[in-house]
Structure 1
Amino acid sequence: MIVNTANEGRIMSGGEAIVAALIANGIDTLYGLPGAQMYPLFDALHGASERIRTIGARHEQACAYMAFGHARSTGRPGVFSVVPGPGALNTMAALCTAAGCNAPVLMITGQIPTPFIGRGRGHLHELPDQLATLRSVVKWATRIERPADAPRILNEAFRQMLSGRPGPVAVEMAWDAMAMCEHVRPLAPARPETPVPPLPEAIAEAVNRICEARNPMIMVGGGAQHAAAAVRALAQEIGAPVAALRSGRGIMPEDQPLGLSSYAAYRYWPQTDLLIGIGSRLEMPYMRWSGMGQLTDKPKGPPPLIRIDIDPAEMNRLKPDTAIVGDAEEVSDALLKALHNAGHQSRPIPDAVAAAKLSAATEISRVKPHVDYLHIIREALPLEGIFVEELCQAGFASYFAFPVLRPRSYISSGYQGTLGFGFMTALGAKAANPDRPVVSITGDGGFLFGIQELASAKQYGLGVVTIVFNNKAYGNVLRDQQTGYGGREIASRLENPDFLELARAFGIPGHRVTTPGELHRVLEAAIAADVPALIEVPVDPADEVSPWPFIHPNG
């Protein structure tokens, strides 16, 4: 290879130029599954293995979910690479999950040789218009035409991914262009756009509303995860409890006096005379508590609503009484400063907050057996541990019955509800946080979407502890068929493999427990071992108490 000085660049292939741009932007891990169109990229990854590691997978969807788990657990970009066409299509569920959760995920894929693009000749992995397909889901997508363009385009990908409302982006590069070599000049890392500062008049209006309120409540979403300290300080100043449904959990620890589970927030809602939404779609009060799927772009009646969001479009999707466009941390700090300047006196926590927490805890305890198991997991999982839920009865119950105590320690699929995401996502969370315990809970149905990745966990030493709640069914579907369709069951009961034997086949320890007490002992040992492990919990669907009255209490 011909090398010039660092400032002047050097001769690189397209694959090498991409890898160099990733490293320049601070990427140290890529999740990938190589194939013909991606050979130049993966060869470059091999050459740069001391600076960027590559974690492989057994299915393209796992690459994307791992990148999603990486991003959600760290707040930093997760990057994956797969072949174009069917490989790219296999990642779409994970990409739409990343879009729904505003996760910064970068997809790098290939393309058929340049002369064949748009010709419809049926070249290997050809799609009619791959970029159009990707743009229907991701925030931004484009093609790298030549190696020299890679630094600029990758920087733009990072800028798009991280500016404003974060989200997934994608770049493609044709097979021949990725293998071509030319002179490439490096660039400094990308700089996301600086958030627009909040309008002073909006801050003043919000301060007036806060000063008039006696029982405010704050609801947070994923857009406030980076602003935990600022949100807590604001909440403590105004005596406002903080609640979240999924993505905002852990910003206010739920074991603290101001931390509310989603159901405790529902219990407190009648006393609330001001709602402050920070980085949240506010799905709970206006879609779930108002009746499932009720559509409204303007909250009706009290309480008044203050919305804080970096995306100005959110103010049209759900119109607040006071709109503040800006970064969650910057706005929260500005509100706190303005309150102090206005002579605001810190308020005590209303007695109704503790009453709502106690009432909710008593009612939630009825959701057997999953609440008992979730309490055991909470006891065994250290504070720094990461919990990844799944679309299963225990996962749904975790929305309100698993106390979340730290930011970025609870990972869900957000409103997409992508069945099977959890185990594969947990692998990426563990890869990104090797010193933190990671527990994945899943149902038997969802686990089988990605069970082949036990091989990846073993190969790369990703010590995720996976708890499989095996009710031999798609539990929600089975219950709905029984209660809403006259018991006409179809395709909802499952015949499963022996999960312990399957774990052993992958070279992974397997355990079966039948009581919460057994789970505590086995789970503590598995976490301490820090190697991949599987724990099966057999459950009879007839013994499961539905969690849904606590998720859709007015449904």
Structure 2
Amino acid sequence: MQKVVTAGQAIVDGLVRNGVRHIFGIPGVHTYSLIDALAERQGELAYLGTRHEQGAAYMAYGYACSSGRVGAYTCVPGPGVLNTSAALCTAYAANAPVLCLTSEVFSHEIGRGHGILHELPDQLAILRGLTKWSARISHPSEAPRLVARAFEELTSGRRRPVALECPWDTLGQKAQVELDVSARPMAPPLPDPEAIERAAKLIASAAAPLIMVGSGALGADAEVLELARLLQAPVTAHRSGRGIVSEDSPFGLDLAAAYALWAKTDVLLAIGTRMELQFIRWKQVPSELRIVRIDIDPTEMPRRPTEVGVVTDARLGVRALLEALAPRLRKRASREAEFQDLKARARREFEVVQPQLAFLDAIRAVLPRDGFFVEEISQVGFTARFGFPVYEPRTYVASGYQDNLGFGYMTSLGVKVANPTRAVVSVNGDGGFMFGVQELATAVQHRIGSVAIVFNNQSFGNVLRDQKTTFGGRLLGEALRNPDFVKLAESFGAAGYRAATPGQLRSALERALADDAPALIEVPGEPGAEVSPWPFIHRG
């Protein structure tokens, strides 16, 4: 279908054609023509204005992580783009399909250095350094094909963010445009039969196999559980892979329980994971360990020593492996009781990580099985990596290897927009929460019912501990003077609660989730009062 439209209208048409139903952002003079095009399609695509570009990008990230769908945001060029860079690199680290739509200076001024409003020396180069793929739309006629290409990149291979920029003048320029251009995602490569045979032979001979899953295994939960039962092998995850096998299943082990088996593991089956847990957190690798990897990204295979690498989609790879293993294996003796005992023993060992664990227990008791838990770079967030059971895929939302302070609350709003009927809770430290406190206004304006729990220990907890233990107690920059968080929430129009004990937190959270409206629960604490969770994350 050909039509005379602006580049902005062509871009928005492409978003609608590719199933985008929400977009986050802040209007600005460079993007007025895009914003106007969005206004024309309000019945098909909801625009949620935020209070900071960083908030818009993190909301798109939360939307993508929790749903598997594309999370989209728009911002002005230059400082607007740079304000979103932390969220973009988080999406890159956590394999999230996030689309950045931005503008540029006037097309004839790009690269000339005249100091045009929001000009950067080479914005497209910056975006290409933060994303899987980025491009510039230089004429309205290019918009449908480049938008389609963006969605091909977002939905093919390893999911990572992409960006499109369109110059200020070009966004409003009109031309005859062919709008009916479809994205054609690439089918995943089929598993190599020879590699599958070698992998099956190796796994069948293993005495103590361990399955490690990452975000690349999302969508293969049924197949992974079937494989775990066939092998009587435990399944563990670090962050994004949690819940692929439920941790109330005998086979789903948190990282603390799984570590007890690590020293005797002879074959590690790594599915859609960088193996950060084994190579960076646990550090000491068993001398006889052999690794089988299933990953859609071929560049992952040489990064760690791999006996057999299968480049394919996780579901296809595990299904092929199941078929190859079936004739090789007799029914194995159940290890379910052993795994349950390991989990109970690990819980007794990390029970000392208080008061964080008691508060996490209170949250778990209230949050539905399919509710979302958004962690944060905080003492409670770190403890949650082993101390908060996860039951369903995508319900534990983290920031990948970036581990960037302050992402949590803003991300949780995107999670709730993508999943309006499900409970969403974010756990925040006082320092991290203040990175995105202004988005309380966004939550109230759009009635986004995410519940923020703010653990207020008046400090950057890790910094305080490290300065005390490693730097002779010389303290600098660790102390925080905070507002009254309850009054702060109420001033925005959100509900505010204070909970000093796990029991009070449980009651407050029950009320907040029942209201399904923006809420904040402050949990006061003392600086340095938390037991360190790190001995259960960094081992060896």
TM-score, structure 2 length as denominator? 0.98
Q: Identify the match of residue 371 of structure 1 among 357, 365, 385.
A: 357
Q: Is the Cα–Cα contact under 8 Å of residues 268 and 353 in structure 1 kept in the other structure?
A: no
Aligned length in residues: 540
The one-letter code sitting in structure 2 at the alignment partner of 1:329 is: R
Paired position in structure 2 for 1:382: 368
Q: Is the Cα–Cα contact under 8 Å of residues 457 and 532 in structure 1 kept in the other structure?
A: yes
- Unmatched segments (≥5 aa) in structure 1: 1-7, 292-298
1:118 and 2:114 matched: no
* Post-superposition CA distance 1:112-134 (Å, at most 9, x none): 11111111100001000000111
- Unmatched segments (≥5 aa) in structure 2: none
CA distance, structure 2, for counterparts of residue 308 and residue 381 of structure 1: 33
1:427 and 2:413 matched: yes
- Where 2:159 maps in the other structure, the secondary structure is coil
1:339 and 2:325 matched: yes
| 1:269 to partner: Cα distance | 1.3
What does residue range 57-136 of structure 1 map to in structure 2 within 5 Å? 57-136=50-129
What does residue range 125-274 of structure 1 map to in structure 2 within 5 Å? 125-274=118-267
Paired position in structure 2 for 1:414: 400
Paired position in structure 2 for 1:296: none
CA distance, structure 1, for counterparts of residue 6 and residue 225 of structure 2: 49
Paired position in structure 1 for 2:33: 40
TM-score, structure 1 length as denominator? 0.96
CA distance, structure 2, for counterparts of residue 335 and residue 399 of structure 1: 29
Q: Out of 56-65 and 349-358, give the one that drifted further.
A: 349-358
CA distance, structure 2, for counterparts of residue 350 and residue 185 of structure 1: 59
The one-letter code sitting in structure 1 at the alignment partner of 2:138 is: E
- Where 1:106 maps in the other structure, the secondary structure is strand
Paired position in structure 1 for 2:471: 485
| 1:188 to partner: Cα distance | 4.3
Paired position in structure 2 for 1:51: 44
Paired position in structure 2 for 1:470: 456
Q: Identify the match of residue 438 of structure 1 among 424, 439, 464.
A: 424
* Post-superposition CA distance 1:481-526 (Å, at most 9, x none): 0110011000110000111111111011101111001111110111
1:553 and 2:517 matched: no
CA distance, structure 1, for counterparts of residue 72 and residue 332 of structure 2: 44
CA distance, structure 1, for counterparts of residue 516 and residue 227 of structure 2: 38
CA distance, structure 2, for counterparts of residue 127 and residue 224 of structure 1: 38
| 1:248 to partner: Cα distance | 0.5
1:18 and 2:4 matched: no
Q: Out of 161-170 and 528-537, give the one that drifted further.
A: 161-170
CA distance, structure 2, for counterparts of residue 176 and residue 473 of structure 1: 47
CA distance, structure 2, for counterparts of residue 48 and residue 13 of structure 1: 14
Q: Is the Cα–Cα contact under 8 Å of residues 237 and 347 in structure 1 kept in the other structure?
A: no
1:470–1:535 Cα change, 3 Å: same
Identity within the alignment, %? 50
CA distance, structure 2, for counterparts of residue 391 and residue 276 of structure 1: 29
| 1:140 to partner: Cα distance | 0.8
Q: Is the Cα–Cα contact under 8 Å of residues 250 and 337 in structure 2 kept in the other structure?
A: no
Paired position in structure 1 for 2:290: 304
Q: Out of 328-337 and 184-193, give the one that drifted further.
A: 184-193
* Post-superposition CA distance 1:136-170 (Å, at most 9, x none): 11111110011111110011111112221110110
What does residue range 268-307 of structure 1 map to in structure 2 within 5 Å? 268-290=261-283, 301-307=287-293
The one-letter code sitting in structure 2 at the alignment partner of 1:526 is: A
Q: Is the Cα–Cα contact under 8 Å of residues 145 and 181 in structure 2 kept in the other structure?
A: no
1:205–1:350 Cα change, 3 Å: farther
| 1:213 to partner: Cα distance | 1.6
| 1:91 to partner: Cα distance | 0.3
The one-letter code sitting in structure 2 at the alignment partner of 1:530 is: D
Q: Out of 301-310 and 30-39, give the one that drifted further.
A: 301-310
| 1:286 to partner: Cα distance | 1.4
CA distance, structure 2, for counterparts of residue 351 and residue 268 of structure 1: 14
The one-letter code sitting in structure 1 at the alignment partner of 2:450 is: V
| 1:183 to partner: Cα distance | 1.4
The one-letter code sitting in structure 2 at the alignment partner of 1:340 is: A
* Post-superposition CA distance 1:37-62 (Å, at most 9, x none): 10011101111000000011000000
Paired position in structure 2 for 1:295: none
- Where 1:395 maps in the other structure, the secondary structure is helix
CA distance, structure 2, for counterparts of residue 245 and residue 123 of structure 1: 45
The one-letter code sitting in structure 1 at the alignment partner of 2:514 is: A
* Post-superposition CA distance 1:375-423 (Å, at most 9, x none): 1101100111011000000000000000000000000001101100000
Superposed structure 1 runs of 4+ greater than 6 Å apart: none
1:530 and 2:519 matched: no
| 1:351 to partner: Cα distance | 4.9
Paired position in structure 1 for 2:480: 494
The one-letter code sitting in structure 2 at the alignment partner of 1:354 is: Q
Q: Is the Cα–Cα contact under 8 Å of residues 152 and 187 in structure 1 kept in the other structure?
A: no
Q: Is the Cα–Cα contact under 8 Å of residues 45 and 52 in structure 1 kept in the other structure?
A: yes
CA distance, structure 2, for counterparts of residue 206 and residue 345 of structure 1: 19
The one-letter code sitting in structure 2 at the alignment partner of 1:19 is: V
Paired position in structure 2 for 1:315: 301
